[in-house]
Structure 1
């Protein structure tokens, strides 16, 4: 067992019943509500399946973003919003691992493309000001965590310093959404 896991496992076991839960997930934000769906898939894992460790971060894996693909967005789409979220963290709200904006074409992202220096993507900072893909890393001993990629087709150019700052400006501008959930055991 690696040293970090050895040190954090007792904390994970102690907090095992504490979970942020889905109630505060970005998926439930009224500003992002839409009745039109996008199909979001990955060749790396099936919906609801285990995310391979190559897509995990810190001591678990090399933090390589998975390939993602989606159905054609509706006419009028000018930007896409992609959020990676963990709803099982032992804090009050889900943890956002990544927030990225990009153009709607092409309708896929290659494996490893979600890097901070890739000019295709504009990132908003997440935990500790990090940008780019921050892969799954559940607290050791905490059990299964659910990680969801949320994809939104927008008809506007978003502007803001954080997703919370941006949400009110996105109301009425979401044309479609798609969601892909994977799991990883801590």
Structure 2
């Protein structure tokens, strides 16, 4: 255990019972509901398994985004929206790690693809104002955290600059979600 983690561990242990209401997940907003499903997978881990360390944040991994693969997108897909969240962060709502929009790619993205220097990616600031991929990083001592990637196929592009913040995202996608998929994983620190 890193010395910083050892210092924080008692706080995580104290907050172990503090968990958000999963119903407050951005993905639970009615504006994100879709009739069609996209199968979302990763060659790095299976749905519900432990997310490998290299995809995790500071003091655990390299903060690389995992490779993601998806099934055929519905006809009329103009934009993809990817949301990555922590369902167990000690706060009132799940913590949003990453929100990014991009033009459709036929079957997925490679490992490490979610980079801020890629001009085809449009990030929305999330946790602590970060507009980037932020890998899993549970509070040391807090126990196992559940994480989810959500992929949405949209029939219109999302202007992240106009959206500005995660709380305005549901209104921006209302009536435009053609299909969605989810990939879950866990991490303990």
Q: TM-score category by the smaller chain?
A: over 0.9
Q: Map of 1:100-115 to 2, 5 A cutoff? A: 100-115=100-115
Paired with 1:21 and 1:87, the residues of 2 have a C-alpha distance of 8
Q: How many residues align?
A: 186
1:177 aligned to 154, 168, 180, which one?
180
Counterpart residue number, 1:38:
38
Cα offset, 1:23, TM superposition: 1.0
Gaps of 5+ in 2: none
Q: Any idea what the Cα deviations from partners look like across 1:130-184, whole Å, max 9, x if unmatched? A: 1221000000111100110000000012221122212112111100000000000
Gaps of 5+ in 1: none
2:165 aligned to 132, 142, 162, which one?
162
Paired with 1:57 and 1:128, the residues of 2 have a C-alpha distance of 14
Please give the TM-score of this superposition, normalised by the length of structure 2: 0.95
The 4+ residue runs of structure 1 with deviation greater than 4 A are none
Cα offset, 1:14, TM superposition: 0.5
Paired with 1:106 and 1:74, the residues of 2 have a C-alpha distance of 11
RMSD across aligned C-alpha pairs, in angstroms? Answer: 1.0
Please give the TM-score of this superposition, normalised by the length of structure 1: 0.97
Counterpart residue number, 1:147:
147
Cα offset, 1:100, TM superposition: 0.3
Paired with 1:47 and 1:129, the residues of 2 have a C-alpha distance of 28
Cα offset, 1:91, TM superposition: 0.4
